[in-house]
Amino acid sequence: MSNKKLKLPAGIQTFATIRTEGYIYVDKTRYFVDLIDTGQVYFLARPRRFGKSLTLSTFDALFSGKKELFDGLYAEEFLKRPEFKPCPVICLDMSNVSTGQGFEVIEQSLRLNILSAAKSLSVDVLENIPSGDMFCQLIENTAEKYASKVVVLIDEYDKPFTDFINEPEMAEKVRGLLRDYYANIKANEKHIRFIFLTGISKFTKMGVFSTLNNIVDISPLEKYGNICGYTEKEIVCYFSEYLDETADEYGISREELIEKIRHYYNGFCFDTGGKNRLYNPFSTLQFFYGKNFFNFWMESGSTSMIARYLKTQKLTVEQFRNLPVSKNFITNSVEIDKAKPESFLFQTGYLSLREGITRDFSLDYPNTEVLNSMSELLTENILTNRTGDLQNMLLFSLMTENTEELKNTINSLLASIPYDDFASAAKQNILINVTLQVKQRTASKMCDKPGGKN
């Protein structure tokens, strides 16, 4: 048996690739077997880059009966059951839907998504009909062709809608389109064996949860709290060699390294127990790959949407530190476009649950990575985009040599920094950003004045 070190699956979201090309796979298949054994229609909400796509890819391989991919995994015995029979799987990735060129392009992109799924199954569907009707045909024709009930897996079901979270009119049009699209799932229940949807949030008005009255939202259930993401125990078990390598490079012990990684990347929690703590897989893998502490998660996607949201809502970083919330906060179904800022930021992964001190739970930033990213993003947003606020206050106090006003303004920035033992990194990043940007803008303002000097 080869002792070759398994590769890091950074950026790999296909289960078959991970299992056949020498990558580490953190075995989550016990959750999948349990879900199949106990129900039929499920929904899971998790932030981006948290392993949702890999979860659906694993379900795809499982229902397709690709037994060789599950050797040594928990689900191996499930595939050996006498009653198990493979079935066709319809996979739709809604993150592939183009949303940057208008409503008509969105509709056409939904059609192309259906056509791609149909092609992979060698199934014919009509092309010049509404996308929802095409979806209906795809389910019916697949069931007929294979003489079997089908599995429907939909990744990022809400992505076309959340792209317009800052544009209410367009968001409502897209929601109506998706409502008609997803209503066809209910209409074809008799042809469906299993359904699993993923997304950022549970939208009651999207036509999924209102029509599929038997859908189970496993997002807040403690039992499935670790279905996506890495626990610290899993990191120690599966990434042992990488821990030792990295610790040697830093010249510290394994235990010291784990403590540093814990502070920087651990802390995500989504279940009502409030105790499970998770590492974002994307950031964890990128860290082991480059052996460098960096804000990988925020840098992995566009920040324009969240930046606009912070600006529109006039939010600060410190207002969400140890914010008390009630026990039913996590289970309340609130439309994300109507949700309070703390609910929006929790659903999108920027805030996480903690056990409360005086109430049931509190919200806070999950770790140093997210806190640093939010602080930098908000600081940059404030200092560059909003007139009459902190930027002008800093500039004015510097130019008028008003030390008391300068102190008060800087203190409002420092209030966003945690008082944990990893505060120094966040403080250093914020102060560097503030100092550089204020110096640049002060110089610019001085030069704009008659006789101004740099």
Q: What is the pLDDT of residues 233-242, one digit of tens each?
A: 999 999 999 9
Are 64 and 86 in contact by the 8 Å Cβ rule? The answer is yes
Share of the chain above pLDDT 90, in %: 47
Measured between alpha carbons, how far is residue 188 from residues 33, 42, 244, 372, 421 in Å? Answer: 24, 16, 52, 46, 54
Q: Among 23-27, 121-125, 263-267, 399-403, which is the least confidently predicted range?
A: 399-403
Q: How confident is residue 300, by pLDDT bands cut at 50, 70 and 90?
A: low
Instruction: State the chain's mean pLDDT as an integer.
Output: 83
- Supply the pLDDT for residue 406: 75
- Supply the pLDDT for residue 115: 95
Q: What is the pLDDT of residues 105-129, one digit of tens each?
A: 999 999 999 999 999 999 999 988 8
Q: How confident is residue 20, by pLDDT bands cut at 50, 70 and 90?
A: very high
β pairing state of 216-217 and 323-325: unpaired
Share of the chain above pLDDT 70, in %: 78
> Is pLDDT at 314 greater than 70 in this prediction?
yes
- Supply the pLDDT for residue 333: 61
User: Would you kindly state where each structural domain of the chain is located, as residue ranges?
Assistant: 15-224
Q: Which tops the pLDDT comparison, 136 or 377?
A: 136
Q: What is the pLDDT of residues 184-226, one digit of tens each?
A: 888 888 999 999 999 887 766 555 666 666 789 999 899 999 9
Q: What is the pLDDT of residues 431-454, one digit of tens each?
A: 545 554 544 444 444 444 333 333
Q: How confident is residue 72, by pLDDT bands cut at 50, 70 and 90?
A: very high
CATH number of the domain located at residue range(s) 15-224 in this protein: 3.40.50.300
- Supply the pLDDT for residue 386: 43
Are 25 and 17 in contact by the 8 Å Cβ rule? The answer is no
β pairing state of 361-364 and 352-355: antiparallel
Q: What is the pLDDT of residues 379-413, one digit of tens each?
A: 666 555 443 455 566 667 777 777 877 777 776 66
Burial of 72 (0-12, 13-18, 19+ CB in 10 A): exposed
Using CA of residue 224, residue 230, residue 236, residue 239, what is the dihedral sign?
A: positive
What is the arithmetic mean of pLDDT over 256-267?
Answer: 95
How many other C-beta atoms lie within 10 A of the C-beta of residue 193?
A: 17
Q: How confident is residue 244, by pLDDT bands cut at 50, 70 and 90?
A: very high
One-letter amino acid at 83 equals E
